[in-house]
Structure formats: structure tokens, C-alpha cells
Amino acid sequence: MVEKNNEEHMSAYEKAAKEGIDPRCIPQKLDGPVPIHNEIVYPAYSDEEHDIWKFLYNRQMSFLPNRAADEYLEGVNKLNLTPDRIPYLKDISNVFYQTTGWKVARVPGLIDVENFFQLISNRVFPSTDYIRTKEELDYTPAPDLFHDIFGHMPMLTNKSFANFYQKFGIASLKANPADRKQLETFHWFTVEFGLIKNSKGTRIYGAGILSSLGEVQHALSDEVEVKDFVPENIVMQDYDVWHLQPVLFAIESFEQLEEGFNYWCNKKGLL
Ligand SMILES: [Fe+2]
């Protein structure tokens, strides 16, 4: 991995972790192969853990009508997500494989960016398989399976989004530290906090909003300034990972996301 001895080029997560907040926020470097696709084993979840999934799923779903993007809700159906039990990553991986050619890898937590980019550049989505505790229902500082599955995975059944995300991994591997910082900002305002405009209004597709109780109620409110999708502007936008977002960007289609990202990367020589 690229040595990061310069604060300017540290990611927002790295800076936060450096301030000593929660060890789960410190990315781990993978020290060997991780189980992928049909190699993934279903953990022995307790009844309490299934109940946490059910509670989070039902609570978050109750906010999604007229808020979540159609493409996201279609993805929830394709993946057969239900509140009944924690999904099996292997089953999700098989749906991915049939719809967009992606697979799932089971990872132990927040992983090193180099590992992350390697995986997604090969159309493999790294996911945790543990769930937050009862005490963390409203907020958890680090990703868990609820964020990874409920937040991220439905969009990976969408062809344009899935293509874009692979390109994101490829471009990130090639990028120098300054470009990586811009790519991380782009990721924040699309994959994690992206909005989309459709004929009925503005909708959410970002995983960080869809899996968060506070953000899902805040993102479409008058308190948020929604800007048009312009990659050159997105990469210059400041953000704070620890607070509700005051500025978001809306795409008009996932084709626009894919094409706009390609164009921006080509201009910078990253694709
Ligand atoms: Fe995420």
C-alpha cells in the first residue's frame, strides 16, 4: 500500500481513526485470501442477532417508500432480502453473479483501501458478516452487515452502477495520493450519499443514507442543498463523516453516473 506520511493525503476515515475514536474504524490489511462466493459459510447467529436485523430492516424500510430510488428497491427484491433472518452472503453472491457478474467476499471488518480497490476492480464486493449490538441500533461508527447488505448490495444488481463501481476500483488502483483523495470524495457523494432525480422527485441510492436512521430522514429535507451531478465539482466538495450532510449531489440516471465517471477518469488518465 502507498505510504501515507502526509496528513493532506489521509482519508477522512484515517484521520478520524488517528484521533482515537474506535478501533473498528481503523482499516485492516488482509493477510491472506478471504472466502469468496460459494466458499462463504453462514455464521451461527444468535436469535438476538436475527432480531437486531429484523428491527433494523423493518425500521429502515418504513422510511423508504417515496424516498429510496426505484433501482435500489428493485435490487432489494432481486436479492430476496426479508426481515425474517440475516441474509446469507453466499446467496447474495449468487444473485449478483447472475445479474451483474459480481461476487461477495466475506471480510473481517473495515479493510485497507488497497485490498478494497483490488477486490472491487475484480467485481468482488467485500462485506462483513457480523451485526451491530443492541446498544448500537441507532448508530455504529464502523460498517457492519446491516450497512454492507442493506445499504450497499441492492445497487450492485443494477448494471450501470455495477459497471461504474468496478471502474471506480480500477481507477483508484492507478491513482496517485491526490487523485485518490478526489476519488474518495466522489465515492462519498455517490456510493455512500448519492441522490437521483426521477420523474416523481428526488430519491436516495447512497448506502450511507439508506442504512442510517438519521440520514434517511434528513437527506431529502429542506436542510440539504442538492447540487447537480458534475464530477469536477463533486471532487472538490468538503464533507464531514461524523455529521448529517448539508450538501448532496443528484444524478439523473445511473447511465449518467457511469458515463460521467468514465469521462472524468479519462480526462485525468485514470482509465
Ligand atoms: Fe459503505
DSSP string computed for 169-209: HHHHHH--HHHHHHHHHHHIIIIIT-EEEETTEEEE--HHH
**What confidence score (pLDDT) does residue 10 get?**
62
**If you ran DSSP here, which 8-state letter would residue 224 be given?**
S
Is the pLDDT assigned to residue 14 strictly greater than 90?
A: no
Average pLDDT over residues 79-86: 98
- Residue 58 CB: number of other CB atoms within 10 A? 10
**What confidence score (pLDDT) does residue 22 get?**
72
Instruction: Compute, in angstroms, the gap from residue 199 CA to the centroid of ligand 1.
Output: 27
Is the pLDDT assigned to residue 109 strictly greater than 50?
A: yes
**What confidence score (pLDDT) does residue 21 get?**
65
Average pLDDT over residues 147-162: 98
pLDDT confidence band for 212 (50 / 70 / 90): very high
Average pLDDT over residues 136-141: 86
Q: Quick one: angle between helices 254-268 and 159-174, nearest 10?
A: 20
Catalytic residue among 121, 211, 212, 258: 211
Is the pLDDT assigned to residue 63 strictly greater than 70?
A: yes
**What confidence score (pLDDT) does residue 142 get?**
81
Q: Rounded to an integer, what distance in angstroms lies between the CA atom of residue 17 and that of residue 106?
A: 23
Catalytic residue among 11, 93, 147, 184: 147
Beta bridge partners of 127: 106
Of 44-48, 107-111, 151-155, 246-250, which gets the smallest average pLDDT?
A: 107-111
Report residue 125 CA to chain centroid gap.
10
Is the pLDDT assigned to residue 189 strictly greater than 50?
A: yes
Instruction: Compute, in angstroms, the gap from residue 98 CA to the centroid of ligand 1.
Output: 23
**What confidence score (pLDDT) does residue 7 get?**
58
> Can 147 be counted among the known catalytic residues?
yes
**If you ran DSSP here, which 8-state letter would residue 30 be given?**
P
Instruction: Compute, in angstroms, the gap from residue 143 CA to the centroid of ligand 1.
Output: 7
**What confidence score (pLDDT) does residue 4 get?**
42
Q: Is the dihedral of CA 205, 230, 261, 170 positive or negative?
A: negative
- Burial of residue 186, with CB atoms counted within 10 A of its CB: 0-12 exposed, 13-18 middle, 19 or more buried: buried
Is the pLDDT assigned to residue 5 strictly greater than 80?
A: no
E strands along the chain, which residues? 103-106, 124-127, 195-198, 201-204, 225-228, 247-251
Q: Which residue has the cell 425474517?
A: 84
pLDDT confidence band for 3 (50 / 70 / 90): very low
Q: Of 47, 60, 52, 13, which Cα lies nearest the Cα of 154? A: 60
**What confidence score (pLDDT) does residue 13 get?**
53
> Can 37 be counted among the known catalytic residues?
no
Q: Of 64, 98, 34, 105, which Cα lies nearest the Cα of 207? A: 64
pTM: 0.91
Q: Rounded to an integer, what distance in angstroms lies between the CA atom of residue 124 and that of residue 30?
A: 15
- Burial of residue 137, with CB atoms counted within 10 A of its CB: 0-12 exposed, 13-18 middle, 19 or more buried: middle
pLDDT confidence band for 18 (50 / 70 / 90): low
Instruction: Compute, in angstroms, the gap from residue 139 CA to the centroid of ligand 1.
Output: 14
> Can 211 be counted among the known catalytic residues?
yes
Of 19-23, 124-128, 200-204, which gets the smallest average pLDDT?
A: 19-23
Catalytic residue among 37, 93, 121, 152: 152
Of 9-13, 100-104, 113-117, which gets the smallest average pLDDT?
A: 9-13
Q: Rounded to an integer, what distance in angstroms lies between the CA atom of residue 245 and that of residue 214?
A: 10
Is the pLDDT assigned to residue 52 strictly greater than 90?
A: yes
Give the three cell numbers for residue 242. 461524523
Instruction: Compute, in angstroms, the gap from residue 149 CA to the centroid of ligand 1.
Output: 10
Average pLDDT over residues 258-264: 98
**What confidence score (pLDDT) does residue 1 get?**
38
Give the three cell numbers for residue 181. 483523495
CATH number of 18-268: 1.10.800.10
Instruction: Compute, in angstroms, the gap from residue 84 CA to the centroid of ligand 1.
Output: 23
Catalytic residue among 184, 192, 215, 258: 192
